């Protein structure tokens, strides 16, 4: 379980948000909504431990704390091939996956045929898929995704949806940031709405979408 306690963040001299307390359970998908500049990415980075919050704390319980982060940055080395990229991240994380296993993961994201091509020749969507392959390789307990469907076509979005459901199935805690809810987005169990420097909604997804419908202001 991932738990935030009174987290606040100040960027330069501007407060981004304050007093954010929430939890995301294992085996669930939490959707973090909010407009541009609401601080979704920052909150995800704080959850990942990449940014120190100005105050407050982030806690993990009942997990090994293995974090997968899929954000706007793909972490892809353009001059390495797809397979070499995966091999590097495997070694850096100290994992024991074999070469065949990594090829299988590349196959899952539809990059098997391009395994030995340099990632620099990939389109944005393909790089994003390679990035997804990196996250799949880690089998993280906490999966933080920042608008992961940017630049993905319908087939890739379906793939992402399938993989996220699978991650939820094996008990991972998935947090997904986005502007709104697309039809083919992964089904969220819980919704967090970040608005005007605080949490405007924190509850089950079912009651978020039921009337009063005005709440879905940022769809």
Partner 1 sequence: MLRMTLAVLRKDMTLTLLRSSGLAQALLLGLLLVFVFSLSQGAGESLSARNAAAVFWLSSAFCQVLIFNQLYALEETNDSRLGLILCPAPIQAVWLGKAIAGVALLLLAQCVFLPATVVFLGQDLAGPLRPALAILFLTDTGMCALGSLLGALAQGQTTRESLLGVVLFPLLTPLLLAGTGIGAQAFGDADPDGPGAWLGLAAAFDAIFLAAGLLLFAFLYGGEE
Partner 2 sequence: MPGRFLPPLILLLAGSLSLACCQYLIYFYAPAEATMGLVQKIFYIHLPLAWWSLFSFFLVFLGSVAYLLKRAPGADRLCAAAAEAGVLLSGLALLTGMLWARKSWGVWWTWDPRLTATLVMWFIYAGYLLLRGLGLPPRRKRLVCAVAGVVAFLDVPLVFVSARIWRSIHPSVLGAQGGGLEPEMKVTVSACVVAFGLFWAGLVWLRKCQLDLRARMRGSVD
Task: Summarize as ranges the residues that interact with partner 2 (CB under 8 A).
Answer: 10-13, 54
Asked if 8 and 15 count as a contact pair (C-beta separation under 8 A), the reply is: yes
For residue 97, the minimal CB distance to partner 2 (Å) is 35
Sheet of strand 55-60, all strands in order from the earlier edge strand to the far edge: 14-24, 2-11, 55-60
Q: Which is nearer to partner 1, 11 or 213 (CB)?
A: 11
Residue 48 interacts, among partner 1, partner 2, none and using kind-specific CB cut-offs from 5 to 8 Å, with partner 1
CA 139 – CA 216 distance, rounded (Å): 33
CA 187 – CA 189 distance, rounded (Å): 7
Residue 134 interacts, among partner 2, partner 1, none and using kind-specific CB cut-offs from 5 to 8 Å, with partner 1
Stretch that binds partner 1, among 2-10, 83-91, 152-160, 195-203 (CB under 8 A): 83-91
Binding of partner 1 by 209 (CB under 8 A): no
Q: Which is nearer to partner 2, 13 or 183 (CB)?
A: 13
Asked if 177 and 5 count as a contact pair (C-beta separation under 8 A), the reply is: no
Residue 45 interacts, among partner 1, partner 2, none and using kind-specific CB cut-offs from 5 to 8 Å, with partner 1
Candidate residues 10, 57, 79, 182; the one interacting with partner 1 per rule CB under 8 A: 79
CA 143 – CA 68 distance, rounded (Å): 5
Asked if 15 and 175 count as a contact pair (C-beta separation under 8 A), the reply is: no
């Amino acid at each position: 379980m991932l738990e935030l306690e009174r987290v606040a963040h100040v960027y330069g001299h501007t407060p981004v948000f304050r007093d954010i307390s929430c939890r995301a359970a294992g085996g669930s998908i939490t959707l973090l909504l909010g407009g541009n500049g609401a601080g979704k990415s920052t909150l995800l980075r704080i959850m990942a431990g990449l940014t120190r919050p100005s105050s407050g704390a982030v806690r993990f319980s009942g997990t090994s704390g293995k974090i997968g982060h899929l954000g706007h940055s793909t972490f892809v080395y353009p001059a390495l091939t797809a397979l070499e990229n995966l091999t590097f991240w495997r070694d850096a994380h100290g994992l024991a996956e074999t070469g065949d296993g990594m090829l299988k993961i590349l196959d899952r994201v539809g990059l098997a045929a391009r395994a030995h091509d340099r990632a620099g020749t990939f389109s944005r969507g393909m790089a994003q898929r390679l990035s997804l392959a990196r996250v799949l390789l880690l089998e993280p307990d906490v999966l933080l995704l920042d608008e992961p469907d940017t630049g993905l076509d319908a087939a890739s979005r379906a793939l992402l949806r399938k993989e996220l459901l699978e991650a939820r199935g094996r008990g991972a805690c998935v947090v997904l940031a986005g502007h709104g809810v697309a039809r083919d987005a992964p089904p969220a169990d819980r919704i967090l709405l970040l608005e005007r420097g605080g949490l405007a909604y924190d509850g089950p997804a079912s009651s978020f979408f039921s009337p009063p419908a005005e709440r879905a202001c940022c769809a």
